[in-house]
Amino acid sequence: VRKFTFLWVLGAIIILFGLTFQILNLSNYFQTSRPVDGGIYKEGILGDYSNINPIYASSPVDESVSRLVFSGLMQYNTSNKLVPALAQSYSVDSTGTIYTFKLKPNLVWQDGKSITSKDVAYTFDLIKTPDAQSPLISSWQGIKISTPDQSTVVFTLPNPLSSFIYSATIGILPYHILGNIAPATMRTVDFDTISPIGSGPFSINAINSNGSTIDTKKVSIELIPFNNYWQGRPKINKFIITAYHSKNAMINDFKSNTVDSMSGLESVPSTIKNTKPNLYSFPLTAAYMVFFKTTSKILSDKNVRQALVMSADQKSIINSLDHKTSVVTQPFLSNQFTYNTKYSQAQFDLNAAANLLNSNGWIIGSDGYRYKNNQQLAFTLTVPDSPEIVYDATILKNNWKSIGVNLRISALGESDLQNSLSYHSYDAIIYGISIGVDPDEFIYWDSSQIDPRSAYRLNLSEYSSKTADDSLAAGRTRLDPALRIVKYAPFQTSWQSDAPALGLYQTRYLYITNLKIHGLKINEINQATDRYNNVVNWQILESKVTN
């Protein structure tokens, strides 16, 4: 009896276990993982936290926090198209000088106060005020701002400017909080760091700082969702940004899952490659170029510059990269409506380059380098101290040596590089310029931008051409794309002929995460903070649901 009972009980247990196992397997078969709301997301960024006021923010950390806390009249969507944000709509009059914006109804600040046209006017009037010392001041001089009613803002430009609408992405400031503060003290108020009130998807909840040395110092900014954000409450429950002074400290925190993502690195650290992190490589509307300073003795000869362009193996440079990118062969990017292949720079041809130098009196000497009037064909190429760019420069050095050019490479750290850029103390320089969606590149190529008194002095080639100047001025003052294509053609022809620069490739923004972010899509962006274009819909948690 005992044996009989034992066998029956054992059989029942086996059957029950089998049924349970089958049910669990069938359950998994009929269930899938889907993203759900909630969770805490921790992002590490290399840089300093100092001022997130949108009229001042300039460091990667400040710009990132500012982007999450504040909203502009316009913003970019996940297709990198400019769309209304706080604005409901906008219109441009027939002269191209009057822009009228209508605000969305029922907009509120993070303290519950209503957002009105007065806030918008205050923001841009503050930028225009010299005492405020905003780096954006030069872009807003001469523009008049009026507010016919609480939901309407009118900008009157002194002249038509096709790229003006792209300036409407600047975060708006609350007049009811800052209106009584003297512009001269605006850079030092608590609002800029510990108590900002914005209208963006997140608000600051707490700020924590720790570490006593450069290698250990970290500042963590804890952000919480803004329930009344105009696009709806973000799906993540808490967003924490940690600013790191040390790259190694950020990488170590990523390895230990103290942070979920890293921003500010140019390549994937070798110490984390085996963990197979998620890599989001965003193409930027920006370009790496070699800018030849056309006022320097050797590079003042456009035949020398053309020979340098012809002898640069652009394909080898791009193949050496650890990521995909698009080639840059002219001042405009390939996806801009002004781009035309007939204006591309000279193609790689070592024989043609050598013949051009021969015909212009540059003769090969006994040392293998070229000379003309007892002067060696030699110059220094200044580059950022980055492994990727230094390697690019090494390829160019070998290319140019093959046609008799003696190239010296000078790799500079960030501080020294910025000084070199500010004073144009170089013969040639590899640098990445932000181009954006609109083809207005006046600040990079117009001769007025050579002057040390100019706001930016970003004409890094010190390129001067009346034809180019006239064309750049005409192109930026037209709104019709077809007409702009015609107006920019003389500039493109001059650029191709004069070779003030050598196009290399489009830059990218690398975002490394140790988890999958649902809602984050890889597409072309204009700057690193555009990774947040769809941050309100980011999800980091998953849950099993029945199909």
pLDDT score recorded for residue 546: 62
Q: What does the block give as tokens for 200?
A: 């963006």
CA 74, CA 516: separation in Å to the nearest integer? 28
- Nearest CA to 434 among 266, 265, 267, 284? 284
Residue whose structure tokens are 């085996």? 274
> How far, CA to CA in Å, does 482 sit from each of 172, 479, 486?
33, 9, 7
Phi then psi for residue 291, to 5 deg, are -95, 115
Triad 209, 211, 213: Cα angle to 5° = 130
In angstroms, the first-to-last Cα distance of the chain is: 48
pLDDT score recorded for residue 16: 81
CA 459, CA 429: separation in Å to the nearest integer? 12
- Nearest CA to 461 among 474, 446, 471? 446
- Nearest CA to 227 among 247, 202, 209, 244? 202
pLDDT score recorded for residue 512: 97
Phi then psi for residue 505, to 5 deg, are -160, 165
Q: For 329-378, give the secondary structure using H, E and C.
A: CCCCCCCCCCCCHHHCCCCCCHHHHHHHHHHCCCEECCCCCEEECCEECE
Relative to beta strand 261-263, strand 218-225 is unpaired
CA 291, CA 385: separation in Å to the nearest integer? 17
The Cα diameter of the chain in Å comes to 117
Triad 155, 161, 166: Cα angle to 5° = 75
pLDDT tens series, the chain, 547 aa: 777 777 777 777 887 877 776 665 655 555 677 899 999 999 999 999 999 999 999 999 999 999 999 999 999 999 999 999 999 999 999 999 999 999 999 999 999 999 999 999 999 999 999 999 999 999 999 999 999 999 999 999 999 999 999 999 999 999 999 999 999 999 999 999 999 999 999 999 999 998 888 778 899 999 999 999 999 999 999 999 999 999 999 999 999 999 999 999 999 999 998 889 999 999 999 999 999 999 999 999 999 999 999 999 999 999 999 899 999 999 999 999 999 999 999 999 999 999 999 999 999 999 999 999 999 999 999 999 999 999 999 999 999 999 999 999 999 999 999 999 999 999 999 999 999 999 999 999 999 999 988 878 899 999 999 999 999 999 999 999 999 999 999 999 999 999 999 999 999 999 999 999 999 989 999 999 999 999 999 999 998 766 6
Q: What does the block give as tokens for 462?
A: 């010190």
- Nearest CA to 221 among 59, 62, 58? 62
> How far, CA to CA in Å, does 119 sit from each of 21, 287, 346?
63, 35, 50
> How far, CA to CA in Å, does 256 sit from each of 50, 246, 253, 511?
27, 16, 5, 17
Q: What DSSP line would sit under 198-243, residue for residue?
A: --SSEEEEEEEEE-SSTTT-EEEEEEEE-TT-TT---S-SEEEEEE
- Nearest CA to 234 among 544, 547, 543, 532? 532
Relative to beta strand 378-384, strand 428-434 is parallel
The strand pairing partners of 204, in sequence order, are 223
CA 426, CA 69: separation in Å to the nearest integer? 39
Residues whose CB falls within 8 Å of the CB of residue 58, separated by 6 or more in sequence, listed in order: 51, 135
What does pTM read for this prediction?
A: 0.90
